[in-house]
């Protein structure tokens, strides 16, 4: 763990002036590129946030009281709804100088994560933090549809949506704007009115019985929980351990995501229904066997020499019984203590004869 680093320390200070994530950005970029190129998702994607538990000294630690761990590093994640495959991710590092000041943070995040999938006809499901009319129009121009709830205090909403007027229970009102954007108002409870914006549904069907939910709400409930399920799966089987360095915490989370993604690809490619626990144990076994073969090929002498600070028993044992030392004979390369050494430095008595 002392030697576990993810960048070069010599030029770190220079890179930190332009990149707050410089201590891990190169590794993370390569990992995300592999995730994008290794898997072709289905038509429905979802965007949400993941909080990586962390209390280390870091200038972009977030406090989120509605999360189980409260403190951590925030990760914006793009996930395939059907398989829960992690496709793309971006960390929240505070104020971003590269962001257009006219764009909101949510608009910038969705645009950045969806860039590899533009012009391909995908649909994005997101919550009320991300959804806006300007974002919907821009994604529509890139052949990407969006379905998401909207906050009632958005300026883009009409007066009918922003006022406190209550509808009848389970009543639905549909409003259409320019650019094939559909805004839907639904009275879910007595004091709860839901607003959903969609560029996927033009003609909306409404249930006849029950709560008379419209098609847009049923679709949103079905496709909104990709990132939450991903987070639950990562917490169930994890390699995380305590650490005081935030790059190591991010590295542990990246390993968990890599194991989950590889498990999804393995099942899809081979048609094998294997549990995730068994798959992880097989991966660990293969990595352990590979490491054992490398150590055996290097030999015992080379493995001993790699740790010069480890004390070993004297191998000469002419004038001692069980003395320990870190010194070696310069000729036979055996460990030799002070009693078994010759008058010359670093030479045992046997080689001095």
| Mean of all residue pLDDT scores within the chain | 87
What is the model's pTM?
0.79
Which tops the pLDDT comparison, 33 or 324?
33
Confidence class for position 303, pLDDT limits 50, 70, 90:
very low
Distance CA 223, CA 214 (A): 15
Angle, vertex CA 87, rays to CA 261 and CA 133, nearest 5: 150
Structure tokens at 68: 């189980």
Beta-bridged to residue 55, according to DSSP, are: none
* 187-216 average pLDDT score: 86
Confidence class for position 308, pLDDT limits 50, 70, 90:
low
Reduce the DSSP state of residue 114 to 3 states and report it: coil
The number of beta carbons lying within 10 Å of the beta carbon of residue 49 is 19
Q: Does residue 300 carry a pLDDT above 60? A: no
pLDDT at residue 179 in the model: 65
């Amino acid at each position: 763990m002392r030697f576990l680093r993810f960048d070069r320390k010599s030029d770190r200070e220079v890179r930190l002036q332009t990149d707050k994530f410089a201590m891990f950005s190169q590794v993370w970029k390569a990992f995300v590129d592999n995730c994008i190129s290794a898997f072709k998702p289905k038509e429905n994607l979802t965007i949400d946030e993941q909080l990586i538990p962390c209390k280390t000294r870091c200038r972009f630690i977030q406090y989120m009281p509605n999360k189980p761990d409260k403190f951590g590093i925030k990760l914006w994640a793009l996930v395939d709804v059907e398989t829960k495959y992690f496709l793309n991710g971006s960390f929240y590092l505070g104020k971003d100088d590269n962001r257009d000041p006219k764009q909101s943070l949510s608009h910038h995040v969705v645009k950045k994560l969806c860039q590899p999938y533009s012009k391909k006809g995908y649909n994005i499901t997101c919550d009320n933090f991300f959804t806006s009319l300007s974002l919907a129009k821009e994604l529509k121009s890139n052949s990407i549809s969006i379905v998401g709830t909207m906050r009632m205090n958005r300026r883009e909403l009409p007066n009918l949506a922003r006022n406190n007027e209550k509808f009848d229970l389970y009543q639905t009102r549909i409003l259409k704007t320019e650019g094939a954007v559909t805004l839907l108002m639904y009275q879910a409870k007595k004091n709860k009115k839901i607003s959903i914006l969609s560029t996927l549904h033009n003609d909306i069907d409404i249930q006849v019985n029950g709560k008379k939910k419209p098609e847009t709400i049923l679709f949103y409930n079905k496709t909104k929980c990709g990132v939450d399920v991903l987070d639950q799966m990562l917490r169930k089987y994890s390699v995380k351990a305590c650490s005081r360095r935030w790059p190591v915490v991010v590295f542990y989370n990246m390993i968990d995501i890599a194991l989950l993604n590889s498990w999804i690809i393995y099942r899809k490619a081979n048609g094998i229904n294997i549990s995730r626990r068994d798959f992880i144990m097989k991966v660990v076994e293969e990595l352990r066997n590979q490491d054992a073969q490398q150590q055996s090929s290097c030999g015992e002498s080379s493995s001993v020499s790699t740790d010069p600070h480890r004390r070993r028993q004297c191998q000469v044992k002419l004038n001692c019984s069980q003395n320990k030392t870190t010194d070696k004979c310069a000729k036979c390369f055996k460990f030799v203590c002070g009693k078994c050494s010759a008058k010359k430095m670093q030479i045992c008595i046997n080689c001095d004869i």
